[in-house]
Structure 1
Amino acid sequence: MSLNVPPTPEKPSVHDSCIKTIASLRLENQQLYTELNRLQCDNTHLKTELLNLKFEDKDIAFRLNISKTTVSDILNQGLPALAKKLNFLVQWPDKDSLIKNMPVIFKKTYPRCVSIIDCFEVFINRPGHLTARAQTWSNYKHHNTIKFLVPITPTGAISYVSRAFGGRTSDKVITQRSGYLDKLEHNDQVLADRGFLKN
């Protein structure tokens, strides 16, 4: 009498089980990277939109149903990254390029002009700290601001952006402390409005 015993199914080896787990984890990892990339793109888009809309932090927080602190964190983390990516757009031009591309009107009137300078003010929320509030108050804008020195070339390209200064700081002081003067060479001409002559 012969017994037909069904063969016992082979148990998957530890090796096969590990390979399946690794494959599954790789797929999950790839999906997470795809999702992370999408979220980073959305985050960048959101930051750009928020900056373009020029809302205050509390308004953005209300619209997105997030805390004001989260809005500040997003902007504080995002803006330096955005600045780093766009940094290549702001370069001090070499003298040959300036002369070669100088508009005719400048060649006739200001042949040695390398920059037209102005200070650009950006509104900020009123600081809670009294000293910061005083340092950022702009009598010109009647608001708390930060100021940047932004020179452009005769062709209109931005050639330098200074660090931020409080709105109370005079254009002349910003020019002296920003590092801009170190870029200039002997006999360079710079065009500026009367604000740069005040103390």
Structure 2
Amino acid sequence: MKLHQNKEDLELSFLFEVSESTVSKIVITWINFMYFQLKEINIWPSRDIVTDYMPDDFKYKFATTRVILYATETPIQKPSHVDAQSVTWFSYKHKNTIKTMIGCTPRGTVSYVSDAYGGSASDHQIIEKSELLQLNLNLFEQKVSIMADRGIMVQDLFAAQDVKVNTPTMLKGKSQLEPEEVVRGQESSIQKDSHRASYWISQNI
């Protein structure tokens, strides 16, 4: 009921005749249980699946795209602990948030979800600690690329895996940006597709 109907803890405490703190503890316990169970599910698709379902625009200009990365912030209640308040405080939005790096295929299917960090964490820090950089997992094949939202500058992190990071712009005839050419600029039709997928992600997590 908590997740499906988004009922307040106070309302649930009345319905089940328990204290509000008991409701909170039960919800937290089950959320943690679900997290550890669901995180074992491998949602990372094979390269063949990504390519087969790739939109034509991506195939034409960014055929090597393996995943689109997008950082999303989720508002949370103000933590009671002072240190937690500081870590989760996001000055840009003037509220406490947690930040997660989401990955999706060019088709818009969620294919990666990082651990959650305090809203003050940078995109660079989150990816640096993520499974995306663990060589033993072999998530990236040779000569593939990542499409990143504007502002996610992480080419240095993926250089060791020979994975390019693309930030779509008006490419003037170039089909792919080299590592040193990662730039920001006017949105192309490819970027619009990635933003649509990113918007869907932000509304459904």
Q: Structure 2: how far apart are the matches of 1:66 and 1:167?
A: 33
Q: Compare 57-66 and 152-161 and name the one that shifted more.
A: 57-66
The aligned counterpart of 1:129 is: 81
Q: Structure 2: how far apart are the matches of 1:187 and 1:167?
A: 33
> In the alignment, which of 100, 106, 113 is matched to residue 154 of structure 1?
106
Show CA shifts across 1:107-154 (max 9, x none): 001110011111222221111111110000112332111111110011
- Counterpart secondary structure, 1:168: coil
Show CA shifts across 1:68-122 (max 9, x none): 3212212112213334565576511111111222111110011100111112222
Stretches of structure 2 that go unaligned for 5 or more consecutive residues are 155-205
> In the alignment, which of 130, 149, 164 is matched to residue 193 of structure 1?
149
The aligned counterpart of 2:51 is: 99
What is the number of residues matched between the two proteins? 150
> In the alignment, which of 143, 152, 166 is matched to residue 118 of structure 2?
166
> 8 Å contact 1:47–1:78 — kept in the other structure?
no
Query: Kindly tell me: are residues 59 and 167 of structure 1, through their superposed partners in 2, closer, same or farther at Cα, counting changes over 3 Å?
Result: farther
- Counterpart secondary structure, 2:105: coil
The two structures have a TM-score, normalised by structure 2, of: 0.63
Bigger fraction of residues in strand = 2
Stretches of structure 1 that go unaligned for 5 or more consecutive residues are 1-45
Q: Structure 2: how far apart are the matches of 1:190 and 1:54?
A: 39
> 8 Å contact 1:90–1:158 — kept in the other structure?
no
Q: Structure 2: how far apart are the matches of 1:116 and 1:139?
A: 26
1:48 corresponds to which letter in structure 2?
A: L
Q: Structure 1: how far apart are the matches of 2:29 and 2:131?
A: 25
Bigger fraction of residues in helix = 1
Q: Within 5 A, what are the aligned runs for 1:51-130?
A: 52-53=5-6, 55=8, 57=9, 61=13, 66-83=18-35, 86-87=38-39, 91-130=43-82
2:146 corresponds to which letter in structure 1?
A: V
Q: Compare 125-134 and 77-86 and name the one that shifted more.
A: 77-86
The aligned counterpart of 2:2 is: 47
> 8 Å contact 1:90–1:161 — kept in the other structure?
no
> 8 Å contact 1:127–1:133 — kept in the other structure?
yes
Q: Structure 2: how far apart are the matches of 1:60 and 1:143?
A: 26
Q: Structure 2: how far apart are the matches of 1:80 and 1:173?
A: 24
Q: Structure 2: how far apart are the matches of 1:131 and 1:171?
A: 20
The two structures have a TM-score, normalised by structure 1, of: 0.64
Deviation of 1:47 after TM superposition, in Å, equals 2.8
Q: Structure 2: how far apart are the matches of 1:154 and 1:175?
A: 19
Could you tell me the percent identity over the aligned residues?
A: 35
Query: Kindly tell me: are residues 153 and 169 of structure 1, through their superposed partners in 2, closer, same or farther at Cα, counting changes over 3 Å?
Result: same
RMSD of aligned alpha carbons? 2.6
